[in-house]
Amino acid sequence: MTGSRAYFDHAATSPLRPEAFEAMLPFWTGEFGNPSGAHVESRRARIALDDARDQVAELLGVGPGDIVLTSGGTEADDLAVQGGWEAVLATDPATDPGAGAGPPVVLCAAMEHHAVLEACAALARRTGAELRHIASDADGRVDLDALADACDPGVRLVSVMTVNNELGTIQPIDAVAEVVARRSPGAVFHTDAVQAVPWLDVAALTATAHLVSISGHKFGGPKGTGALALRHGATVRPRIAGGGQERGRRSGTPNVAGAVGMAAALAATVSERDATVARVAGLRDRLADGLAARVAGLVESGDRADRVAGILHLRVAGVEAEAMVVLLDEAGIAVSAGAACSSGAVEPSHVLASMGLDPETSRSGIRFSLGVATTEDDVDRALEQVPPVVERLRN
């Protein structure tokens, strides 16, 4: 809780970890060198950048040369989807649309974050590729049967997120990889692991994927930092041309302070993960059970056993999510609604729609996302304030 407020939007962004702040301080002041130079200041910056890359690589289970530092999860997703696609087609010219076998196919889960959905849509518009979306089951997991039906030898890129950002559902990454390898052997498999890092062993969970995206500010690193991990010989074509940094895969002067802070936050997250997961899962369950006992017509989305500890998604019958977000904010509680959009209009959640829910139900979803800073007092405040807000909206 911050002052008189309770923050339940850690899945949107998390507070900066003190370890990250301390690690970055020197690179905001005296250690300002450009790591691409040849003098002493540049060499010191280069050493710091290399050390940060080594740490991120080790914690994600890849080699240092298999990490591309980015400006965040969105750029990492775009580089994976569009840059990964270009790399696949560059090594397999027979997949060119002019080859006579029909356009190559890009495939993604319908529940993906907009960073992936829009990257796939932009790719289809730009290249003429066929875009296929895969529905979810009733618990918010990708439908493996639908995935198998959609995969064929023409598929060249598949993207399925590791953890859904709205529901917190953990996706069956190994099973997805097996389907893709069996049905679409020429495809590269990308997973957006942005929401997984605080709660799961991403190195192990995503070991069968070719491309893995993460974002620093989701686990206590600074905003504007992220990374794309490459596995199994996969590569990407650059989306940003210039000086050829990041081994030619992403040009631009590296954000040394950001990389150092992200690495420090990732190390702290991994070292404390087991204890954090156990504590936060208890807080989430207490919040869920307490609200269920106090609010009629409340439905918890997904099975707790298949969700990360930090996300509680609720559907509140008779309540429109956006109105609830506003009133809870006035009551000192920060939550989010999957229906929120940049224009301010209320739209059905595409994640809930992918599960086959109707538009009215898809407008009723509220996400409480907890993090390392969440306390018992935060839960107490939510249990006190949410029921009267629901009653007010229903009346």
Q: Which domains does the chain have, with CATH numbers?
A: 6-15+273-394 (3.90.1150.10), 18-267 (3.40.640.10)
Residue 349 pLDDT grade (very low, low, confident, very high; cuts 50, 70, 90): confident
Confidence of residue 358 (pLDDT cuts 50, 70, 90): confident
pLDDT in tens, 133-168: 999 998 899 999 999 999 999 999 999 999 999 999
Q: Reduced to 3 states, what is the DSSP secondary structure of residue 14?
A: coil
Mean pLDDT of 262-291: 98
**What pLDDT was estimated at residue 98?**
44
Q: What is the dihedral of CA 41, 47, 53, 55, to 10 degrees?
A: -130
The tokens describing 147, both together, are 């995935």
Average pLDDT over residues 277-281: 98
What's the confidence (pLDDT) of residue 97? 46
What are the distances in angstroms from CA 118 to CA 23, 70, 108, 317, 368?
34, 18, 11, 30, 25
- At 386, the pLDDT band (50, 70, 90 cuts) reads very high
Looking at beta carbons, which pairs linking 206-211 to residues 24 or more positions away fall under 8 Å? 206/61, 206/162, 206/173, 207/61, 207/231, 208/173, 208/174, 208/177, 208/178, 209/173, 209/177, 210/84, 210/234, 211/80, 211/84, 211/236
* pLDDT > 70: percent of the chain: 95
The pLDDT-based confidence of 345 (bands split at 50, 70, 90) is low
Whether residue 363 is predicted with pLDDT greater than 50 in this model: the reply is: yes
pLDDT band at 30 (very low <50, low <70, confident <90, very high): confident
Contacts for 231 with CB less than 8 Å, ≥ 6 apart: 62, 66, 207, 209, 210, 211, 212
Model confidence over 71-110: pLDDT tens digits? 999 999 999 999 999 999 988 755 444 444 679 999 999 9
Predicted structure pTM score? 0.94
What pLDDT is attached to residue 99?
45
pLDDT reported for residue 364 = 87
Please give the Cα distance from 198 to 211 (Å, whole number).
19
- Residue-level pLDDT at 3: 56
Q: What is the mean pLDDT of the chain?
A: 93
247, amino acid identity: R
Reduced to 3 states (helix: H, G, I; strand: E, B; else coil), residue 341 is: coil
Binning the chain into helix, strand and coil, the percentages to the nearest 5 are: 45, 15, 40
The residues, any chain, with a CB within 8 Å of residue 60's CB and separated by 6 or more, are 67, 202, 203, 212, 214, 227, 229
Can you tell me the distance from the alpha carbon of 334 to that of 378, in angstroms, rounded to the nearest whole number?
Answer: 10
- Is 341 annotated as catalytic? yes
Q: How far is CA 3 from CA 76, 245, 258, in A?
A: 35, 43, 28
The stretch 280-291 carries a mean pLDDT of: 98
Q: What is the pLDDT of residue 96?
A: 46
Q: Can you tell me the mean pLDDT for 59-66? A: 97
Relative to beta strand 155-159, strand 188-192 is parallel
By mean pLDDT, which of 56-65, 133-142, 336-345, 368-377 is the weakest? 336-345
